[in-house]
């Protein structure tokens, strides 16, 4: 016996249990994606920037320690440059300048997660002006064999930080935020959108062809005149 069109259409419609299982799978999978997204509190490119800021402080500190060792011993020179600081002949202020950049940038971009370039602009401007004035007025370039190296490296590292934040960190994070907004919107649309053929969930079962034929025959028998 061939299936009637009514029964075939009923078979093609998804049952309430199937649609409920599909929606349940979506609801269970979405919180996992949100939790994974919340765990990542800082982006990879911002973490790389903070690592470079730390390298800036450590590298300048290393150059300053080498300079102290060359000039006659670390301990004696530390006492001389820190306790009896002389602007025209010390490198300690350049180390303090690197520490200033480290504190401001880590506080702004690692702890506060600022999404603007104002902090690195301040540190770079202060470093550049101070280093240019120091090299112009001090006598460190003539007193120490590599007295020019520490100011130049500090100047270069400050400008690399500005370039890296402005051309790498902020544009990439903006792109990631746009992608995340689009993805969140699509996920909400999937959760809100009804399942396929949801209009067929509530319907009364049609009468079968066999039952309708039997009722027609009974009516026909009742209408026959009695002989």
Structure confidence by residue, pLDDT tens digits, 116-133: 999 999 999 999 999 999
Under 8 Å between Cβ of 139 and 166: no
Closest CA to 51 of 94, 110, 98: 110
Q: Is the pLDDT of residue 36 over 50?
A: no
Helices 170-192 and 44-70: angle between axes, nearest 10 degrees: 160
Structure confidence by residue, pLDDT tens digits, 130-173: 999 998 888 776 666 667 889 999 999 999 999 999 999 999 99
Q: What pLDDT does residue 162 have? A: 97
Rounded Cα–Cα distance for residues 103 and 50 (Å): 11
Under 8 Å between Cβ of 43 and 173: yes
What tokens does 30 get?
């979405």
Q: Is the pTM of this model over 0.75?
A: no
Indicate the DSSP class of residue 193: S
Lowest mean pLDDT among 84-93, 118-127, 191-200: 191-200
pLDDT bracket for residue 224 (50, 70, 90): low
Q: In sequence order, which residues have a C-beta less than 8 Å from that of residue 114 and are 6 or more positions away?
A: 108
Q: What pLDDT does residue 9 have? A: 44
Percent of the chain at pLDDT above 70? 62
Q: In sequence order, which residues have a C-beta less than 8 Å from that of residue 32 and are 6 or more positions away?
A: none
Rounded Cα–Cα distance for residues 91 and 139 (Å): 11
Under 8 Å between Cβ of 71 and 144: yes
Under 8 Å between Cβ of 57 and 99: yes
Average pLDDT rounded to a whole number, residues 107-121: 95
Q: For the chain, what is the largest distance between any 2 Cα atoms, rounded to a whole number of angstroms?
A: 139
The helix/strand/coil state of 203 is coil
Q: What pLDDT does residue 80 have? A: 82
């Amino acid at each position: 016996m061939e299936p009637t069109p009514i029964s075939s259409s009923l078979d093609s419609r998804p049952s309430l249990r199937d649609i409920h299982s599909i929606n349940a799978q979506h609801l269970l999978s979405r919180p996992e994606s949100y939790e994974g997204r919340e765990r990542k509190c800082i982006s990879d490119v911002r973490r790389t920037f903070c690592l470079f800021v730390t390298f800036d402080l450590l590298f300048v500190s290393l150059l300053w320690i080498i300079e102290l060792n060359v000039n006659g011993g670390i301990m004696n020179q530390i006492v001389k440059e820190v306790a009896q600081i002389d602007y025209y002949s010390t490198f300690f202020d350049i180390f303090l300048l690197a520490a200033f950049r480290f504190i401001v940038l880590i506080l702004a971009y690692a702890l506060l997660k600022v999404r603007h370039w104002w902090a690195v602009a301040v540190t770079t401007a202060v470093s550049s002006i101070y280093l240019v004035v120091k090299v112009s007025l001090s006598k460190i370039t003539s007193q120490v064999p590599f007295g020019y190296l520490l100011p130049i490296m500090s100047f270069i590292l400050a400008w690399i930080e500005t370039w890296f934040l402005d051309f790498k960190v902020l544009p990439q994070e903006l792109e990631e935020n746009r992608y995340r907004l689009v993805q969140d919107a699509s996920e909400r649309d999937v959760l809100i959108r009804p399942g396929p053929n949801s209009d067929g969930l509530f319907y009364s079962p049609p009468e079968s062809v066999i039952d309708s034929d039997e009722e027609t025959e009974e009516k026909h028998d009742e209408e026959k005149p009695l002989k």
